[in-house]
Every structure is written in C-alpha cells, then in structure tokens.
Amino acid sequence: MDIRPAATLALLRDGPTGLEVLLLQRSWDAAFLPGYYVFPGGAVDDSDRADHHHLGNHTPGGYDDTAINQTMSLDGGGADYLIAAIRESFEEAGVLLATDRQGQPLTTDRYQQALSRRQAVCRGELDFARLCQDLALSLPLDRLAYLSHWVTPAGAPRRFDTRFFLARAPAQAARHDGAETIDHLWLDPHQALADHRRGDRLFSAPTLKTLRELCAFASADDAIAYARANPPAASNDRAWPARKGDRTIMVESGTPAYDQVRKLDPGRLGHASATIEPGELVAIGDGVYRLTAGNPSVMTGPGTNSYLLGQPGDYTVIDPGPVQDDHLERLLAVTDGQIRQVLVTHTHLDHSPAAKVLHERTGARLVGYPAPAGASQDAGFQPQWQPRDGDQLATGAGPLKVLHTPGHASNHLCYLLESQGLLFSGDHIMQGSTVVINPPDGDMKAYLTSLARLLEEDLAYIAPGHGFLMGNPALVIDFLTTHRLSREHKVIQALHHHGPGTLKALTPHAYDDVPAAIHGLAARSLLAHLEKLVADGRVQQQGEIWQLR
C-alpha cells in the first residue's frame, strides 16, 4: 500500500484565558475518521510543489530550501509539506496564511477575493498556485514551525506520512467548508482533552498527542518558539532484522514484533525473535524476563505471559498463568525455585491459578486482590497481601508501583517498574486486539478512567499479558480510548435511529461492522457501553428497554 505524504497545520491564537487551537469536525460521511475533530490537513498534491509557487524573493523572510529540508530531515521536498499545510488550511477552514509580495498582511479586499475562489480550489478547478499568482500572494513559510512526524501504522485502510506544523492564525474568521468539514471551533487544549475523556468529541491519537503537548504553553508564541527550538528527530522506522525459526526476516514498522525486536536488538544483529514460543525465556529488560505459557487461543493470543523480575535468590513472578505442568516446571527451573513473591494482575483463569501451586512449592507470598464472583474467576486465589493503589513493592529488579486499573476486571492491577518505564499491563492493555469488557464485573466507565490515569505515568514500554512488548505507550492508550469512544458514538446513533430498544435489537445496528456470528459477544460489549452511558446521564433503562434521555 502506498504511503501518501500529508501535512497538518494546528492554527493557534491567544484567547481570553490562554492558548486556543482551531479544530474542525469531519463529515460523518467521510471514509477516514468520520465525525472526528481534526486540525486542517490532507495529502500533499502535485500542485503543492515549491517550484509551482515560484518561491524565493517573493517569500517573506526568504526561502531557504536547504534549511527547510534539514529541519525536517528530508533530502528534498520539505517546502511542499509547508505549502500543502497552508493550502489545506485555506480549503478546509477558510484561513489563508499569506501576505502580499511585500510581506504585508492581506487587506480585507484581497482576502475576500481569495475567499470567493475557495470552492474552485476545493473542487480542483483552480490550482492553489494559480490563485497565489493571480492575487500576487506570498506564502510565509517561515511562520510555520515543525512540530511532529507521524506515519499511519500498517494495516490501516489508508496510510499517510504526515508532518504536523504550528502557526499563529491571521486575523480572519474561520469557516468550515460544509463538505469535508461540518463544524469548527476554537478550544483551549485542556478543554479539548476533557471533552474527549467525557466522550463529547472524538480525536485521533496524533491529534490527542498534539493537544497534550500544547497544554504546556500559555501562549501561541510560546508553543511556536518551543517547536522551532525542538524539531523532531529523524524517524527511524525502517524494517528491522529478526529471527524466525532458523532464518532471518525483516520486521516492518507497525507489525506486532517490531517494538520488541528494536528494543532487544538495537545493533540490528538479527538475533531477537519475531515469534513468541511457549517455554522460551526472553530477557526484555535489566533483570526482567518473559516466559509464555502454552495456552494459545483466540482469547489469549500466543499464550499468557508470565514475567520474572530479579536475580538468583530473589525472584518475583507476575501472572504465573494457568495450571500447566510444563509451564510450572519451567518457572521453577529458571528461578531454581527461589521465588519470593507471586503477583497477579487479576484472577481470570488464564492468569492466576498457578499462583497457589507456586506458593505451596516455594512459600512465595501471594499478592493481588481476591476474585469477585463469576464462573470465569479463580476463586482459589487467596492473596496474603492486598496492596493499595500507589503502593511500592520491592523486587530484585527494582521497586514496582501498584496501579489499580479496574475495567476489564474489578480487581485488575497493573505494575510499573518505574526505573525502566516498563508497565506490566495484564489484560488492561493487550496487543493486537481490544480487551473484553463484560458486565457485571467489567465496567466501561472504569476502564476508560483507568486508561486515562496511565497517561499520568512515565511509561516507555508496555509488557502485556498476551503478545510482544509494545512501544509508544501514550499512542497505544490514545488509540484504545478513541476506539472505545468511537464505538460509544455508534451506540448513541443506534439509539437515536433505532431506539428505544432491547439489547438484542440494538446490537446489529451498533455493531453493523462486525460479523453477525460474533454479535453474541458484541452484545456484552454493547451492554458495557450502555451502562456507561447510564452512569453519564445520557441513557436510561426501563426493564429490558434502553433509550436516550
């Protein structure tokens, strides 16, 4: 699949209470991110080439192609991204970041002349370069500050290589185009993030990351000055050599093993494995090892990961998994039976049952929360210590911070090895799929709150209960949050168009994008969403009937 170059421009202004950013809402009919709030942006067109715009003496501040390319870590074409960002801002928001040929702000008359031709540019009937030439406009590329670089992960229906820029908005009224964009507003970044957490607005992960960065600045000038002084480093998402069986393969960015093989093999020697093999001990950090149980399935992926922390004489085991003789014997063998404590993230049957056996054979202290009621719970797990949220646990690899993260399970805990920024996430975050939220013990509102709480921690990698190490934790968390909130919107739309209704009647509408064969499982997830919406005061239940308030 081709990866198209693209540009995005976050337009800033100073509002009554501080920094504000312009956000546009995409049409609900859009093929990409329908209904999401975004910054103006889009693909770089052929007409965005710098030579089409005759830059140079006509560019305020001068046009230094070499400097632009160096800042963006490109061999050439950097100015094309800047021009595309300005053009997209004009097309989608009606904001024209341009001057006259003397570098002076546009007069009202000249801006209105440009605005009268905006639809022709949007429809492709008039090149943006021709518009600039006809009206003797110059593009102040020096006013844009390069902020970040994002490449859409593999597997997405469309992939973009996008450069994000900041610029102070000119004194013009924003106007969404009514086609690609159906609304616009200026928001304080803090307010935008609060709206997202409540489910009021949808943002993609890169937009959330940008908003979070902007929260650090009191004014537009402060944000732009920071971006100028700290351009992003050149991305290094090239394919990585790894081992698969007895041969060497190249692992592509965005595939499951990529973050792990890069971390474990920074010298690109090709010795890190691109597969997860039950019983294979893998060193994933300083004094940290992963051992995967042989219980692969649709729900457990390649199997349940047990993590060993420490050194000879002092080991901590996280999630010993199910009672499987070969896995238990392997845990005992690699630790020489010197296990001081066994921690569990939660008491689902693929995570905790082996804890009791390890306690009986080693005397290890059991740490975690007791099992709630339910057939899927390990009622035999009896912890000797129930830590509180925020407690510190000593291990041979360093102290672990305990984080209570209910949602997938009410007794779910994550453990953070702060010295390495390594989060042992259990089933709170899984690789390759979203976790099941199954009421009554599963709680969607609690799950989203727990995800948001993790963004307050300094995370470098996620060590999930199933799958490989995951890098870019904030991006992973933002994606999961946005995925859930996007589904929540579909639930609201199903209620609006097909409600009031029962759970069974609403499921085909709220989950019309998944096969009917799994609508039974989808109904449990729908119930979790409906219960969250009831807690939020947006939905009410009468018997088996659900309806909007």
3-state secondary structure 519-534: HHHHHHHHHHHHHHHH
Span 86-98, average pLDDT = 95
Are the C-beta atoms of residues 148 and 209 closer than 8 Å to each other?
yes
Confidence check: pLDDT of 57 > 60 = no
pLDDT at 156: 62
Judge whether residue 266 has pLDDT over 90: yes
Band (116; pLDDT cuts 50, 70, 90): very high
The pTM score is 0.84
- Give the per-residue pLDDT at 59: 66
Contact 405, 368 (CB under 8 A): no
264-269: average pLDDT: 94
Of the pLDDT bands very low, low, confident and very high (cuts 50, 70, 90), residue 505 is: very high
**Angstrom distance (rounded) from CA 287 to CA 280:** 16
Rounded (5°) CA angle 515-516-517: 90
Residue 260 carries which side chain, given as an amino acid letter?
Q
The DSSP H or E segment spanning 197 is helix 189-198
Q: Closest Cα partner for 413 from 445, 380, 367?
A: 367
Instruction: Report the pLDDT value the prediction gives residue 382, as an integer from 0 to 100.
Output: 96
- Give residue 180's pLDDT: 85
**Which strands, in side-by-side order, build the sheet including 413-417?**
392-393, 400-404, 413-417, 422-426, 461-464
**Which is more confidently placed, 51 or 507?**
507
Report d(CA 327, CA 354) in Å as an integer. 9
pLDDT at residue 8 is higher than 80: yes
Alpha-carbon gap, residue 77 to 223, rounded angstroms: 25
Query: Residue 131 pLDDT > 90, yes or no?
Result: yes
With 80 as the cut, is the pLDDT of residue 354 above it? Answer: yes
Confidence of residue 54 (pLDDT cuts 50, 70, 90): low
Chain-centre distance for alpha carbon 522: 22
How far apart are the C-alpha atoms of 296 and 298, rounded to whole Å? Answer: 7
Residue 348 DSSP symbol: B
In angstroms, the first-to-last Cα distance of the chain is 44
- The dihedral formed by the CA atoms of 399, 323, 371 and 415, expressed in degrees to the nearest 10: 20
In whole numbers, what is the pLDDT of the chain averaged over residues? 92
Rounded to whole angstroms, the Cα distance separating 509 from 331 reads 47
Calculate mean pLDDT across residues 456-460: 94
DSSP letters for 206-246: HHHHHHHHHTT-SSHHHHHHHHHHSPPPPP----EEEEETT
Q: Which tokens sit at 107?
A: 């007069």
Distance, CA of 331 to chain centre: 34
pLDDT at 428 over 70: yes
Task: Note the residue count of the chain.
Answer: 549
Please say if the pLDDT value at position 463 is more than 90.
Answer: yes
Residue 241 pLDDT grade (very low, low, confident, very high; cuts 50, 70, 90): very high
The CA dihedral of 178, 36, 159, 144, to the nearest 10 degrees, is: 70
Q: Summarize pLDDT for 174-183 with one digit per residue, the tens.
A: 999 888 899 9
b/e burial code for range 120-137 (CB count within 10 A of at least 16 → b): ebbeeebbbbebbeebeb
SS3 377: strand
pLDDT band at 159 (very low <50, low <70, confident <90, very high): confident
Q: CA-CA distance, 337 to 340, in Å (whole number)?
A: 9
- Of 464, 425, 463, 471, the closest CA to residue 447 belongs to 425
